[in-house]
Structure 1
Amino acid sequence: MEGGCAVAEFLDSFDVERDALLASLDQVEDVWSRFQERRALEMDGTAETDSLIAGEFSLVRRDLESTEFTVGIFGLIKRGKSTLLNGLIGREVSSMHVTPETAVPVYVSYGDDPEAAVHFADGTQKHVAVEDVHAYTSQKTNPMNHLGVTFVEQQVPVGFLRNGTRLIDTPGLDDAEADEVYTQRTLQELDIVDAGVVLFLSPPTVGATELGFLEDIVARDLRKTFLVCNMYPQHFHDRETREQVLEYVGMRIVEASQRVGRSGEVRIYPVCALEAWEARKNDDIDQWKRSGADRLLRDLENYLSKHAGQDVLDDAAERIAHIAELARAEVQVRQQLLEDPEKLFHFRQQLDRNILDLERRFEAAVSMALTEVAPLRMRIRSLVLQPFTRAKQDLNKLETLEEIEQFSSRFRRQLEVGGELASRQFADGFGQIVGGLQRQLQERFQAVMTDLAPNLPNIRLSPNALLVTPDQLQQLHAAKRRSEQASKTSAVVGGLSGGGLTVLATGTMTLLGPLGLLGGALVGWKMSNLVAGHRSLEQARDAIAIRLDEIAATMLQDVDRQVEQAVETVRSSVERRRRAFAGDLYQQFEVVQAISERPEALEVQRRDAARFVDAFEDCAREARAALSGPLAAVG
């Protein structure tokens, strides 16, 4: 059972359906390639350039092949999060001791060979051996995160992670620290992940603080939250004790759900994480099933398949159909031009006017839209600074060095929450700006093509298309060429250098990096052991105030840099897509002009165009029908 070989692999059904969609995408791309060959007829020496449709192929393929499902493991310290994570994976990737261990988030994904990368607050990263990871993630070796680690990413050759599932071991807090800030941070993280495993340990009896924490969590989204009651072996195998604990906790959680108007089943999974880990080490499948982890793993898989996985597949099927319809529209333009080559000059003048108008309109539209970024940036900067303003006020109220030492721990959590909120608000605001631009782009493309050929299908471009840089687009084309010679696994699994940031925005392009993680790491790096060097309260306050200013300046610089990059990416993406669109249409004119010089070829080309229209109509229909229905549960 080592590495998950004897355990049902995550999302097998998703893989099958994804393969069907990739095959459908291949079919559309194959028809498009044949059309391009016919398009280049009689145009010897014409270099093939990137087209709008070629870019759409790359974007959909990237999103399908790089789909990641993120499962976070949450809970207070000493609840067995790391032990459960290791049990689910089948190898030790997170430290397990009786003392609090995890100091920073640990992300675990698939890799052919075990390796790890440590990401730091200064933007650098360090590749380390897997067995050395604990030096950066453990509270013992990295107390208060004085090393300034933002997160650690590990890759391991575990079967059920192979299709893009990623697990996260999050830092926990003790009961005294489990305040509203910690709960808010956990709720933020639960909103981002595709599924969350919330762990509590009982017996002993779940305390009032932890019960309140659980009640706040289930009030949000019961579907994606898996409540796990971890028990020591002696309690887990005592049926009476186990049932009493589950009944008590379950009753409290149901009451909390009813108070906020939520209905539905509340399931608590009794698990013995220690036995799950022992079972994986000893390859004992019977013990694995008895541990309760087997049921948890299967239900996680089924949830991801039926919800997050189905959403991804439905979206991809619709996007592939839209590509086929966009290709059909281009063929219909060819048809219209072939109907009466004598009118080419008239159509060409009309296209020239429309393309010039398109350029003028989009220069104005982009400039107008991006003026909205300035006030958005100011709001984000204000959100980033709010925790610092409160911190300075709180700092002046502290009366002992001991209170000051405790101050940085709470401030770190506040900054993590504030930073995450800032990142999310920027993503929402900037996403609205870009969405408006994309709609204008589609409408103008539609208008230009309809002037050449009426009754065309609606043009729909990929979401996030304007957030892809030219370098990323080149990487997509290179990856496509490599994938033709590589195995499915190597095509699906990304390298360490591409991870980390994207896990905070699963399924979308990350707009603003993880400000919360950055802020927390900066606090640990710049403020740990700061008080020890000062004997007086006043000196300690002054030293901390200076560090607060340094951290705030660093975070604001990071915000400004990332916003500028996002703006430049959108500006260049709009221009690139406008040029690709114009290039596609002008090439059509050149093709038809070359054909018109050979009248005997006109009829053949007309028949070919009609066949391509039918072929792309079939592709669109087959893409939407590629999914056989809701994903079947595995197991």
Structure 2
Amino acid sequence: MTEVAKAVAVLDLGLRACTAYDRPDAAARLTAAREALADPVMHVVVAGEFKQGKSSLVNALVGAAVCTVDDDVATAVPTYVRHGEKPEAHLLFAAPDPEPPRRETIPISDVRRYVVEGGENGGNGSRVTGVEVRIPRKILAGGLVLVDTPGVGGLASPHAAASLAAVSMADAVIFVTGAAQELTRSEVDFLQRARALCPVVACVITKTDFYPAWRRIRDLNEQHLAAHCPVPLMPVSSALRSRAVKANDTALNAESGFTNLVKFITDQIGGNAADRLAADAAAEVIALCDQLDSHFQAERTALSDPEAARRVVRELTAVKSRVETLKSSAAKWNQTLNDGVADLTADIDHDLRARVRTVIAESDAAIEEADPADTWPEMEPWLQSRMADELLANYNMLRVRADALSERVGNHFHEASTALMSRPSVHNPTPMSVVADFQHKIDLQRMRVGKQAMVALKNAYGGALMFIILGSLVGVSLGPIGIGIGLVMGHRGLREEKKRQVQRRRTEARNAIRRYCDEVVFVAGKDSRDTLRRVQRQLRDHYSRLAEELNRSNAQALAGASEAAKRTQAEREQRLKDVDAELERVRKLRQRALAVIG
């Protein structure tokens, strides 16, 4: 029996216990865990530089052309490939939190129109945030979802930040690099960040059928990974895999290298995700056992020793007061949560503004060193890349600090409740790491030859006329000398005009950068505040429900102990046998749940 099957059986026993012991509050948690086990979802993000074969890899894995492959354009929005009873596709549109994304069914043949760079946006001004494709495939039947991430601009672009944000919420990452060259510095950096965000990461070398020297590239990449980021490395050929699937050729499939990749996905990704879900479900059952055990132990103590019954009732009454305090806004965990979110909001905003100020200072220095008319084409992608990098660092800070806050709140709740409860994971702010395109409205063109001539002529004419008039006033005729003076004045005026225009272009470039940075701060700041509010609500609701469960459990224990104190000797002896039997059932249920966790 698999771990998932064991967990389902334990959950079913836990739900029967909830019904028997009148615990609908605990049954709600167990039911949610049961549903998660029944329909597990394991996201595998396929990331890498553009034109490295990510889409081809996904197509080869599922044996169908579901992701767009094009030699000229790159994927611009993520494609989610998952299991379905029949082939179908849906557009996913952005929606306000906490609403799920709006969906619109489209023919699978139209997917390309929306996922490639410069594709359609869905009409009505709606922004397509992704495309979901469902197909009936065995490899996807267990809940596997393959995410083909955008590759526009490469790993130094804003899309890299979006990919890493997706990585932070994924169960595994498959990083794709081509066999044309060894891993670059940016690829190694991306892998290091991905490994810090996701527990399971693998590197895949594609296009081995196209480059004869792929074994040399594999050896070099193994050295790079061993030194900087030890993750599994697997060379594959998507073309050979596709042919093997069509011809049902086992030998060709083995030669393609996909046998090892499929085994890695099945064992490392599917197995890990299933084990994690099973362990989480078993932990919910153990939490129920803790509450039931506390209830029956209190009643057993009261039954076995009538003198101790009054002490047990007093203790449970004190616990009741403590649990009721847990539910109030004055509880330590609640105060820690409110203060922590307020402090974290201020710190994240300050960190973001400090990072943006650093980027502005760097851009100002770069603008002063050269004419924006020459450097602006390089300045735009540099600015987008720098802002994406700083936003990602700010996002990681929010993620780490939010996890720490969740841990602190959980510890304070645990200290007050004296019962170990599971802690929820915090919300991941995916949109925060996406940087919009750099929109600038400035004129950085140099003066045309005709305009330069007009500026020089105007200054030459003005200078010559001034000296000729001065000469006539003193009775001296300058003649050709006036023309020479005019030429000198014209040259000087042209030079000054060029300097003035360079300064104007620098000013416009600086203003454009500041407008862009202000827009980024406005959007990212709003997203971080929304994220922290979601974290606050999530933690508040989670621990409020747990406090309510503890209150109900304590109330049942108090009622049992109070009733035990009123029983006769014969009634106590009979009830004691029943309570021992219930404790034995709870003990066996706990043992089965612990066996699932291992």
Shorter-chain TM-score above 0.5: yes
**Offset from partner CA, 1:421-472 (integer Å, 9 cap, x none):** 33333333233233233233333333xxxxxxxxxxxx321221xxxxxxxx
- Is 1:71 equivalent to 2:44 in the alignment? yes
1:473-499 CA-partner distances (Å, limit 9, x unpaired): xxxxxxxxxxxxxxxxxxxxxxxxxxx
Residues 390 and 99 of structure 1: is their aligned pair in 2 closer, same or farther, counting only changes over 3 Å? farther
Change (3 A) 1:109 1:531: farther
Distance 1:558 1:188 in 2: 13
Structure 1 SS opposite 2:184: helix
- Please tell me whether residue 329 in structure 1 is matched to residue 300 in structure 2: no
Give the counterpart of 1:120 among 88, 94, 97.
94
| 2:63 corresponds to | 90
Please state if 1:554 is matched with 2:527. Answer: no
Percent of paired sites with the same residue? 17
Cα distance in 2, alignment partners of residues 336 and 463 from structure 1:
31
> Counterparts of 1:565 and 1:179 in 2: how far apart (Å)?
30
Structure 1 distance, partners of 2:514, 2:343, is 28
Equivalence map 1:161-310=2 (5 Å): 161-172=140-151, 178-179=155-156, 193-202=170-179, 205-206=180-181, 210-216=183-189, 224-231=200-207, 233=209, 235=211, 241=212, 244-246=213-215, 248-257=216-225, 259-260=227-228, 268-280=233-245, 287-304=252-269, 307=272, 309-310=274-275
**Distance (whole Å) between structure 1 residues aligned to residue 128 and residue 376 of structure 2:** 22
Which blocks of at least 5 consecutive residues in structure 2 are unaligned? Answer: 446-503
Deviation, structure 1 residue 369: 4.5
For 1:315 and 1:578, locate their aligned partners in 2 and report how far apart those are by CA, in whole Å.
19
Paired with 1:191 and 1:133, the residues of 2 have a C-alpha distance of: 26
From 130, 134, 137, give the equivalent of 2:112: 134
Asked if 1:28 is matched to 2:14, the reply is yes
* 154-163 vs 536-545, greater mean Cα deviation: 536-545
CA, structure 1 residues 421+245, in 2 after alignment: closer, same or farther (shift >3 Å)? Answer: same
CA distance in 1, matches of 2:322, 2:172: 47
Q: Which amino acid in structure 2 is aligned with residue 167 of structure 1?
A: L
Distance 1:137 1:532 in 2: 31
Q: Given residue 79 of structure 2, which amino acid in structure 1 is its aligned partner?
A: V
Provide the rounded CA distance (Å) in 1 between the counterparts of 2:397 and 2:522. Answer: 20
Change (3 A) 1:591 1:155: farther
Check the 8 A contact 2:301/2:312 in 1, yes or no: no
How many residues are treated as equivalent by the alignment?
520
Residues 407 and 109 (structure 1), Cα distance of their counterparts in 2 relative to 1, 3 Å cut: farther
Name the aligned partner's letter for residue 31 of structure 1.
A
Q: How does 1:433-452 map to 2 (within 5 A)?
A: 433-446=405-418
Q: 1:122–1:20: structure 2 CA closer, same or farther, 3 Å change rule?
A: closer
Q: After the TM superposition, which residues 397-476 of structure 1 pair with which residues of structure 2 at under 5 Å, given as runs?
A: 397-398=366-367, 399-400=371-372, 403-404=375-376, 407-446=379-418, 459-464=419-424
Alpha carbons of structure 1 residues 461 and 309: separation in structure 2 relative to 1, 3 Å: same
Q: Deviations over 1:280-336 (max 9, x none)?
A: 456665544443223321223222256555455445445533432332222222323
CA contact (8 A) 2:171 2:200 kept: yes
SS at match of 1:227: strand
Q: Quick check: 1:275–1:291 contact (8 Å CA) kept in 2?
A: yes
Residues 68-127 of structure 1 show CA distances to partners (whole Å, capped at 9, x for unaligned) of 333222222211110111111222332111123211333333344523242338776442
Alignment partners' CA distance in 1, 2:523 and 2:158: 23
What displacement does 1:233 show? Answer: 4.3
Q: Is the 8 A contact 1:72 1:169 kept in 2?
A: yes
TM-score, structure 2 as length reference? 0.73
Q: How large is the RMSD of aligned CA atoms in angstroms?
A: 4.0
How has the CA–CA distance of structure 1 residues 393 and 256 changed in structure 2, closer, same or farther, with 3 Å as cutoff? same
Residue in 1 that maps onto 2:578: 608
Q: How far apart, CA to CA, are the structure 2 residues paired with 1:532 and 1:138?
A: 29
**2:175, 2:204 within 8 Å by CA — same for their partners in 1?**
yes
Mapped to 1, the partners of 2:18 and 2:50 lie a distance apart of 55
Determine the C-alpha separation between the residues in 2 that align with 1:72 and 1:545.
34
Question: Are the aligned partners of 1:226 and 1:268 in contact in 2 as well (CA < 8 Å)?
Answer: yes
Bigger RCO (CA 8 Å, 6+ sep): 1
2:157–2:384 CA contact under 8 A, matched in 1: no
1:376 is aligned to 344
Residue identity in the other structure for 2:548:
R
Q: Which residue identity is paired with 2:217? A: V
Alpha carbons of structure 1 residues 367 and 217: separation in structure 2 relative to 1, 3 Å: closer
What amino acid does structure 2 have at the position aligned with 1:229? Answer: I
What are the superposed Cα offsets for residues 379-403 of structure 1, whole Å, 9 maximum, x if unpaired?
2223433554344445544544685
Q: Tell me the amino acid that sits aligned with residue 523 of structure 2.
A: T
Partner of 2:459: none
* Shift in CA distance, 328/548, structure 1 to aligned 2, threshold 3 Å: same
Which of the pair has more CA radius of gyration?
2
Deviates more, 1:123-132 or 1:427-436: 123-132
Question: Which residue is 1:499 aligned to?
Answer: none
* Aligned-partner Cα distance in 2 for 1:546–1:180: 19
Match of 1:133, SS?
Answer: helix
Distance 1:278 1:224, change over 3 A: same
Distance in structure 2 (CA, Å) of the matches to 1:30 and 1:312: 20
